[in-house]
Structure 1
Amino acid sequence: MPSRSTPSSSARAARRLLSDDALHASTVVANNTMNRERGLTGVNSYTRELGFDPLTHLSAFAASPSWLDLCSGEGRALRTAAAQLPASAVLTGVDLVGPLSPSPPPPPPGLELVKASVTDWEAPRAYDLITCVHGLHYLGDQLRMLARAASWLSPGGLLAAHFDPGSVRWTDGSPASRPVLAALRAAGFTYDSRHHRLTLRGPRLLRLPFRYVGADAEDGPNYTGQPAVGSYYEPAHE
C-alpha cells in the first residue's frame, strides 16, 4: 500500500499552497478518473467501496428516496439506481468535470447531473443518502465539505465518504490527523480505518476547530495509489 510521507517545514514552505480556484485547474483534480467506470454493484462498484448497498439504504425511504453523490464522475451508479427506484426518487450527481463521454445519454427522470465544484455548489434540499466515493482526496478544504454535507442530511439520512487522515496537516507540515479525527468523532462521525471511510447519521450543524489555509496539489499518491491533494489547516481561535 502506498504511504504518504510528511513534508518537512522547509519542503512545505517551498511549495505554494493553492487556493480552490487554482486547485480546480490543476491536472490532479481536473483530470482525475476515480469514479469514471464505477457502477452501482459488482467488483468495481459503489456497493463494494461503501460497504453497503445504496439501494438497500434508500429502500427505507419508500415515499421519495433521495441520493446525492459528490464527485460523481460519469454518474453510472446513479443511472442504474434511477432505473430501480420509484419514479418519485430524487438523485443528484455533482462533479467538477462531469461526464467525459462526447455524447452521454440524457439522464433518466429524477436524475440530475450537475457540472460544478462541490465546494461551491449548494444543495437545494435534504438527502437521505450522501456519498463521496474517494472524492475528498481531490478537495482542498475537506473538513468544510464534510460539515456542509452533514447539514444536507435528512432525518435518518446517511453520509458516507472516503477520507485519508494522512492528507490533513498543520501549516508547518506536521500531521494533523489525530486532532482532526478526534474532532470528527466528537461531532458524531464514525471512522473505519481499515477501509478509510467516514460515516454520519442524521443532520447536524458542525463547527470544527480548524481554519483552512490552502492545498498542495503535488502531495503525491495516497493509499489508493493515485495522486491526491494535501490539505493544510491551523487551529481555529474563537
Structure 2
Amino acid sequence: MTGQRRALVSLPELERSSVVANNTMNRERGLAGVNSYARELGVDLLAHLARPAPSWLDLCSGEGRALREAASALPADAVLTAVDLVGPLVPLPTPPTLEEIAASVSTWAPTRPYDLITCVHGLHYVGDQLGLLTRAASWLTEDGLLLAHFDPESIRWADGSAAGRAAIAALRAAGFGYDPRRHLLTLRGARTTALPLTYVGADPAAGPNYTGQPAVGSHYTPTLTGTDG
C-alpha cells in the first residue's frame, strides 16, 4: 500500500522553506537543567568528555548555549564546534575553545574527528537524514559517541509509504542503537558504512512529528545491489 504522494524539493528549496528556516530548536537549550541537552539525551556529556583534549561537534546547534556552558567546564585544549544553518541570532563573544560555523549540515564536513557528536532534534529539519548519519559516523574518534534524535515516521519511500522500519533495521545492522522511548540513535566508535536506501528528496509539508512541531519528511528508494546478468 502506498502513502500520500507529495512534491519533493531539492536541498536549496528545503533550506529556504519556512519549516527549516524558522525552526527554533536549540535556541534556548543549555547543557544541564530542565531545558537541556542532558535532559533530552539522558547522558552526562561532561563525563564523556572527561579526557585529554576533548572534542565535541554539535550539529544543528542553534544558539550554541550548551557548548558555551561546556567551554567553561572543559580544559583549555578542548575543541568545541557548533554547526547551524543560521547560527546565533545575536553575536556574542566566543570562548577560545568554541568555533561557531553557519553552514548546512547536509554539505559541511569537518577536518578532524570528534569524541562526541550530538544532533539534538536537528535531524527533523534535514533532507537526507540517513546520509548525514552515515557521514557523521565517520567523523567519530575510535571511542567517540554519536547521539542524535531520530523519528522513523519521517522516513518514507518515494511513493510516500512508510520506510521507518527499513531505516531502523539498516541503522541497527550498521551498528547504531535506537531507543524508541527517547527517539534516540546512538553509535560508539568511528566507522564507514553505507545504508541500503538512496535519498530522492524532501517533503517540507510533512506536518508535525512526535515533538509537536512541523518537520521534514525524507524520501528514499531501496538501493539496488547485485550484478547484471
Q: 2:62 aligns with which of 73, 97, 107?
A: 73
| Partner residue, 1:182 | 169
| Partner residue, 1:116 | 103
Q: Within 2, Cα distance between the matches of 1:53 and 1:24?
A: 32
Matching residue's letter, 2:191: R
Structure 1 segments of 4+ aligned residues over 2 angstroms from their partners: none
- Kindly indicate whether residue 3 of structure 2 is the aligned counterpart of residue 16 of structure 1: no
| Partner residue, 1:231 | 218
| Partner residue, 2:120 | 133
| Partner residue, 1:50 | 41
Q: 1:90 aligns with which of 79, 87, 90?
A: 79
TM-score by length of 2: 0.96
Q: Within 2, Cα distance between the matches of 1:148 and 1:30?
A: 23
Aligned-pair CA distance for 1:141: 0.3
Q: Within 2, Cα distance between the matches of 1:119 and 1:173?
A: 22
Matching residue's letter, 2:221: E
Q: Within 2, Cα distance between the matches of 1:133 and 1:57?
A: 17
Q: 1:151 aligns with which of 109, 134, 138?
A: 138
Q: Say which SS state the counterpart of residue 187 (structure 2) adopts.
A: strand
**1:91-114 deviations in whole A, cap 9, x for unaligned?**
00000011112xx21210110010
Percent of aligned positions with the same letter in both sequences?
68
| Partner residue, 2:17 | 26
Aligned-pair CA distance for 1:138: 0.1
Matching residue's letter, 2:13: A
**1:58-91 deviations in whole A, cap 9, x for unaligned?**
01x2x10000000000000000001110000000
Return 136-145 or 173-182, whichever deviates more: 173-182
Matching residue's letter, 1:157: G
Q: Say which SS state the counterpart of residue 39 (structure 1) adopts.
A: coil
TM-score by length of 1: 0.93
Q: Say which SS state the counterpart of residue 166 (structure 1) adopts.
A: helix
Q: Say which SS state the counterpart of residue 205 (structure 2) adopts.
A: coil
| Partner residue, 2:94 | 107
How many residues of Structure 1 are paired with residues of Structure 2 in the alignment?
A: 225
Aligned-pair CA distance for 1:31: 1.0
Q: Within 1, Cα distance between the matches of 2:126 and 2:135?
A: 13
- Kindly indicate whether residue 26 of structure 2 is the aligned counterpart of residue 35 of structure 1: yes
Q: Within 1, Cα distance between the matches of 2:63 and 2:26?
A: 7
Unaligned runs of 5+ in 1: 1-5
Q: Over aligned residues, Cα RMSD in angstroms?
A: 1.1
Q: Within 1, Cα distance between the matches of 2:99 and 2:133?
A: 21
Matching residue's letter, 2:124: H
Matching residue's letter, 1:147: T
Aligned-pair CA distance for 1:128: 0.1
| Partner residue, 1:214 | 201
Matching residue's letter, 2:151: D
Q: Say which SS state the counterpart of residue 111 (structure 2) adopts.
A: coil
Aligned-pair CA distance for 1:124: 1.1
Q: Within 2, Cα distance between the matches of 1:105 and 1:207?
A: 39
